[in-house]
Amino acid sequence: MCGIAGVVRRDRGAVGRELLERLLSKISMRGRDGAAGWMNHEQQVGLVHARHSVIDLPGGGQPMTAELDAKFGQLSVVFNGEIYNHRALRKELEGIGHKFTSDHSDTEVLLHGYREWGGKMMEKLEGMFAFGIWDQSNRSLFLARDRSGKKPLFYWRSDKGIVFGSTVSVVLAGMKSMSAMNVEVDGEAMLQYLRFGYTGGRSLVKGIEELEPGCWALAGNDGQLWSERYWEWPGVTGMVRVADKYDDDTAELIARSHLTLKQAVAKRLEADVSLGCFLSSGIDSSVVAALAQEAMYERGLGKLKTFCVEMPEKSYDESRASKIIAKHLGTEHVTLRTPVGDAFSDLEYLMNSCGEPTADSSILPTYWLCKAAREHVKVALSGDGGDELFCGYDRYQALRMMGKHGWWLKGMPSGMFKGTDAKNRRVRMGRLVDAAKAKGGVGQKYRRMVEIFDDELIGEVGGQKAKDALLAEDGFVMDGWAEIEAGMKLGGGNGDVMNTAMRWDFSHYLVNDILRKVDRASMGVPLEVRCPILDQDVCELAMRMKGKKLMVDGMQKGVLRRIAGMYLPKDLTQREKMGFAVPIGRWFQWELRDELRDRLLDGNLEAMGFEMEAVRRLMNEHQVGEKDHTHRLFGLLQLSIWWKWLNG
């Protein structure tokens, strides 16, 4: 895991040491084992890399350059991530005449693979990655990102050239070196952020975009950029679920899932440095930890180190159950206490390192967990992806519930469900009632479940610019729902509603919220986090199952619960999902009340055009317990911190 960046100029501007050092300074926190740059003055190109070394410590330095064929000249690469099948690919390439200089560097495999297969190489790669390859022979830049979007890759381009990198902050630095234009806020991205807490496919800085997961792009010598998708959600025609043979036999479904997950975990145990695993009381991390410990025992590697965060509030604390699970699995367990007082300074540090906000407050415990784990290991496994692939969120069941009991839910008064604790069943029920009352079909109701600000609130809080953007948008449709809304009724009974919700979450929420949050938090330490459940084979297996089959025994994540039951007693596998969070809503009422008010009223939101009376109303309603505005207030707090960073 590393930080990468690169710049290619098409104008007369030079790419020199000063620029490369500036780019390196923006990604230095992502890799502290080495920092280096490479440039070609004649071709006006430069690449930089901050290394967090994990594989082939002496032979995997970057930027890596090789002349593999005298006819075609040099290739140079900067690469962030891991290629889990690099040994098999190396063997295949050696079989057709390629000669390697490193012992087992996966970075060198990318160079040889690209020279041999070009863009077709992407279909062969298994791993998490974002990389850029400069081809000297035709002055082209090849960019690529992994299938699930585990590793970020941003870019900016104009007639002056192109800049790419791991973070918005490094791309912005390169952009400023090329262009004297004023930095503008992207209005459409701001709407997306207010609605869902993330921007998705672009950044709040106008002109800085993100390469989509499962895609590669080529910037040619003519300055044009074109991209191609090499992977997408399988087993789907349009948006309609295609039947699969694993839908019918539950025992076979569980056995195949177990085997595929075992193989996925085994792939991710390779490292030339220390490795551990996050372990909450949840099913996802329990399954990953169980399979990892089993594999380590089989390899004679001893105990797996596992890590958990202890929360001060009982309803949020998973540490006790985590310790019990660790004892059953036989891992070496470490528990960290929550440093509540550091919340604001930690948010500022993370903003400085990445340059973009997130409205997901669980970035705080994720960062604290990564900091604790980094004192013991350089690599950690996680259970991310289990909810989106194996039907883990309450809202999936809620969609089915609306189909059966929508009339009843619509008749319930929303005022019955006041509160500010997201863990409270009454608060969660209130959100379901609000969603059931939403006008429109399944897409609009699901949108109500996942959005933070609805359009009415955006107009009230966001000011005139937000109102203008809403009018210009001419109505909002959630990507991927149009065909479903046209082709079926809510609660149709064939699982398509749940599968469509999971697909939307996988393509949007997982990529732009969960994985982005984990990357920011972990690489701010830095710590490499690997996600076995997001293995390509696991994804494609789960994606072909009908939602109702994933709910074995009628429970969310029923398949994973059955697998967990092979290693743990039933009382530990049937627990209700807690989620990894902090009681930020209560903190905003008490411990962090005054500082929150100071931050939201410090002038940054006002400078962005927000209506401050509406912001004050949200704070007051939340702090007296009238309404739960936790998610909205945290999102606004992050915007205030971001604006300060942008203009700092």
- Domain segments of the chain as ranges: 2-229, 236-390+500-573
3-state helix, strand, coil in the chain (%, to 5): 50, 15, 35
For 438, the token pair is: 């939403």
Q: Report the SS3 class of residue 577.
A: coil
Task: Give the helix/strand (H/E) hosting 483.
Answer: helix 482-487
The number of helices, as runs of H, and strands, as runs of E, in the chain is 27, 19
How far apart are the C-alpha atoms of 161 and 552, rounded to whole Å? 53
Instruction: State the amino acid at position 224 in one-letter form.
Output: Q
Which residues of the chain are modeled with pLDDT < 50?
Answer: 236-245, 483-484, 486-494
Beta pairing partners, 380? 276, 529
Contact indicator for 615, 629 with CB cutoff of 8 Å:
no
The DSSP-derived string for 207-251 is T-EEPPTTEEEEE-TTS-EEEEE-----SEETTEEPP-GGGT-HH
∠ CA 515-519-521, rounded to 5°: 115
pLDDT of the residue at 565: 97
Query: Does 77 count as an annotated binding residue?
Result: no
Contact indicator for 640, 600 with CB cutoff of 8 Å:
yes
How far apart are the C-alpha atoms of 185 and 162, rounded to whole Å? 19
Residues contacting 278, CB < 8 A, separation 6+: 285, 306, 307, 308, 369, 373, 380, 381, 382, 383, 529
Contact indicator for 251, 563 with CB cutoff of 8 Å:
no
Query: Does 248 count as an annotated binding residue?
Result: no
Q: Which long-range contacts (CB under 8 A, 24 or more apart) does 483-488 make?
A: 483/238, 483/239, 483/240, 484/239, 484/442, 484/443, 485/440, 485/441, 485/442, 485/443, 487/239, 487/240
∠ CA 69-72-74, rounded to 5°: 75
Q: What's phi and psi for 477, nearest 5 deg? A: -125, 125
Q: Report the SS3 class of residue 286.
A: helix
Residue 368's closest CA among 332, 402, 330, 340? Answer: 340
Residue 526 preceded by cis peptide, ω within 30: yes
pLDDT of the residue at 494: 44
What's the pTM value of the predicted model, to 2 decimals?
0.93
Task: Give the helix/strand (H/E) hosting 6.
Answer: strand 2-9
Strand 73-83 to 64-69 pairing: antiparallel
Contact indicator for 629, 421 with CB cutoff of 8 Å:
no
pLDDT of the residue at 486: 47
Residue 63 preceded by cis peptide, ω within 30: yes
How far apart are the C-alpha atoms of 6 and 8, rounded to whole Å? 7
Contact indicator for 66, 99 with CB cutoff of 8 Å:
no
- Secondary-structure class of domain 2-229 per CATH: alpha beta
Q: Report the SS3 class of residue 254.
A: helix
pLDDT of the residue at 243: 42
Q: Report the SS3 class of residue 479.
A: coil
Query: Does 382 count as an annotated binding residue?
Result: yes
Burial class (CB in 10 A: 0-12, 13-18, 19+), 362: buried
How far apart are the C-alpha atoms of 387 and 559, rounded to whole Å? 11
- Mark whether 2 is an active-site residue: yes
Strand 209-210 to 34-40 pairing: unpaired
For 18, the token pair is: 């000063």
- Largest CA-CA distance found in the chain, in angstroms, rounded: 75
Beta pairing partners, 202? 209
Residue 318's closest CA among 375, 275, 369? Answer: 369
Contact indicator for 580, 366 with CB cutoff of 8 Å:
yes
Q: Report the SS3 class of residue 40.
A: strand
Query: Does 203 count as an annotated binding residue?
Result: no
For 302, the token pair is: 């001893």
- 341 CB neighbour count, 10 Å cutoff: 11
Q: Report the SS3 class of residue 407.
A: helix
Q: What's phi and psi for 455, nearest 5 deg? A: -60, -35
Residue 272's closest CA among 79, 58, 65? Answer: 58
For 422, the token pair is: 């997201």
Q: What's phi and psi for 40, nearest 5 deg? A: -125, 105
* 299 alpha-carbon distance from chain centroid: 31
Active-site residue among 2, 277, 370, 531? 2
Assign residue 463 a region: left if phi > 0, alpha if psi is -120 to 50, beta otherwise?
left
Instruction: State the amino acid at position 609 in one-letter form.
Output: G
Residue 415's closest CA among 403, 433, 399, 388? Answer: 433
Which CATH fold would you assign to the domain 236-390+500-573? Rossmann fold (3.40.50)
Contact indicator for 433, 414 with CB cutoff of 8 Å:
yes
How far apart are the C-alpha atoms of 383 and 582, rounded to whole Å? 18
Burial class (CB in 10 A: 0-12, 13-18, 19+), 602: middle
Instruction: State the amino acid at position 258 in one-letter form.
Output: H
